Amino acid sequence: AVREGHLAEHGFGKLAVHSKPEVQSYAVMTDTEVVTLLGANDPLLSPLLRLCLLTGMRSGEACGMMAEDLISKGNLGVFARIRPNAIRGLKSKAAEREIPLHDSLLATLAMLPNEGALFPGISVDRVTKRFALLRQSTGATRPGLVFHSTRKWFITQCERTGVPEHFTASLVGHQSARSANRLTYGLYSAGISDCQKREIIDQIRLPRCVA
C-alpha cells in the first residue's frame, strides 16, 4: 500500500511482540482413552481411529486413502502406500512412504470400498468436529486430546518397544533423525527394509480391553 502510494507510511513498526507465544502441544493418548474412544464404536471414526493408532498416519493421510493405495507384498502382508493422489496432498516429501498394515486392521479394511476412496466424503474438518463430539459423549475431555493424539500414541508405543528413532521416523513420515555422531540418515541411508517395518508394526498392540 505504501509502495503504490495509498499510504504515507505503514503503522506496523509501532507494534511490539513482548514474548513468544507458547506452543500448545497435543496430548499423547493414553491406553485408557484408546479403550474408551474405540469402545464407543462410532461408525464414522472407529475405522479411522484404528487405522491411525496402528500406523501413525496423520488424519489427512488416512482420509485420503484410496483402495489402490493398498498393496500386497506376499508373505509381508498388506502395505499402505502414502503418496499424493486426487483427493490429498502430503505435508512434505518425507511423508511419502509405505507402511505395513497390522493384521487386526484387515477385518476393518474388508468393510471399506474396494475401489476409489476408502473413506468417501470424510474430510479432516469433519473428523476434527466428530472427534470433539466423541470426546464430550465419552467424557474423554482432557486438554490437548485431539485426533492427532493417535499419532503420538503410535510413536510412544514404538519408543516403548525399543524401536530406534530413525526407524520410527521412517514409518511416520518425519524428517530423518540424526545419529549420536550427527549422521543424517536421510542423506546416507536407503531406509529400513519392508521386513524391518513389518517387525515393528507387528509388535504394536492395542490395549487388551479393546475388542
Q: Is residue 83 part of a domain?
A: yes
Mean pLDDT estimate for the chain: 85
Q: Is residue 3 part of a domain?
A: no
Please give the residue that has the higher pLDDT: either 180 or 40: 40
Distance from C-alpha of 50 to C-alpha of 35, rounded to nearest angstrom:
11
Per-residue pLDDT reduced to its tens digit, 191-208: 789 999 999 999 999 998
Q: What is the pLDDT of residue 81?
A: 93
Q: How many structural domains comprise the chain?
A: 1
Least confident of 92-96, 161-165, 176-180: 176-180
Q: Give 182's pLDDT tier (boundaries 50, 70, 90).
A: very low
Q: Is residue 15 part of a domain?
A: no
Write down the pTM of the prediction: 0.80
Q: Is residue 48 part of a domain?
A: yes
Q: Give 126's pLDDT tier (boundaries 50, 70, 90).
A: very high
Q: Is residue 18 part of a domain?
A: no
Provide the sign of the torsion angle of the four alpha carbons 155, 101, 34, 204, taken in this order.
negative
Distance from C-alpha of 155 to C-alpha of 152, rounded to nearest angstrom:
5
Residue 175 has pLDDT above 80, yes or no: no
Please state at what angle helix 31-39 crosses helix 45-55, rounded to 10 degrees: 150
**C-beta separation of 93 from 28 below 8 A:** no
- CA distances (Å), origin 152, targets 14, 59, 92, 172, 206: 41, 12, 18, 10, 14
DSSP-derived letter for residue 11 is: S
Q: Is residue 209 part of a domain?
A: no
Q: Is residue 17 part of a domain?
A: no
Least confident of 110-114, 133-137, 155-159: 110-114
Residue 189's domain comprises: 24-202
CATH of the domain at 134: 1.10.443.10
Q: Is residue 176 part of a domain?
A: yes
CB burial string 5-31: b at 16+ within 10 A, e below:
eeeeeeeeeeeeeeeeeeeeeeebbbe
